[in-house]
Amino acid sequence: MRKVEIQEALYVRDDIKYEMILAKKVVSNFWCVAIEVKEKLYKGVIMVVYHSPSSSHGDFMRFLEDIVEQLIIKGDCIIIGDFNIDIMIDSFYTRKLQTVMSSLGMKQYVNSPTRITKDSKTMIDLLFANHKVQVQVMHEPKITDHEWLKIVLNEDKAVNKYREFNTRNYSEINVDEFIRLIENKIEQD
């Protein structure tokens, strides 16, 4: 079996209308994937971002600022991901992240720890948006070693098909089967 390396992932349901507008990676240090959603429920950009804890916070901040500056021009914008900058701690990079995003009209909406271990609690999984969104930190079922974020978009406009809510417990996932499914999907495309 050949090895499949998954570096960027953004899962979009088949019935959602969208256009891929950005996929950028700087080595394995940080990456992002952005789509423009074209639905009645939500029209705007959604970007998923990852920042490795071993990479430079300064380089990541410049990378993020450049990209977000381009995306906000399109209108509503949500940036979600693992920033690996703990905003529960008052530090230079916490303040810098908040200042940069605020200067771009982006507000951070996560309000409780997103990675909880036996010895620590951190808020490193964040959601920034230039419009009001409702975010819930979900603790169950466990998907990874991080809590996960549930976003409610325009709930008053939602129809039943958008209220479906599915999750999987990561401890029950068969990794070999997951890789096989990804390989099959890659071969089909």
For 121-177, the pLDDT digits (tens) are: 999 999 999 999 999 888 776 767 778 788 877 655 545 444 444 555 556 667 777
Does residue 82 lie within any of the structural domains? yes
Residue range(s) defining the domain that contains residue 123: 18-188
In this structure, the chain runs to a length of 189
Amino acid at 185: K
pLDDT single digits (tens) 9-46: 677 878 889 999 988 887 778 889 999 999 888 899 99
Whole-prediction pTM value? 0.77
Does residue 5 lie within any of the structural domains? no
CATH code assigned at 141: 3.60.10.10
Residue 110 CA to residue 115 CA, distance in Å, equals 12
Does residue 10 lie within any of the structural domains? no
Residue 167 CA to residue 128 CA, distance in Å, equals 23
Which residue carries 């991901």 as its tokens?
Answer: 81
Give the number of domains in the chain. Answer: 1
Does residue 58 lie within any of the structural domains? yes
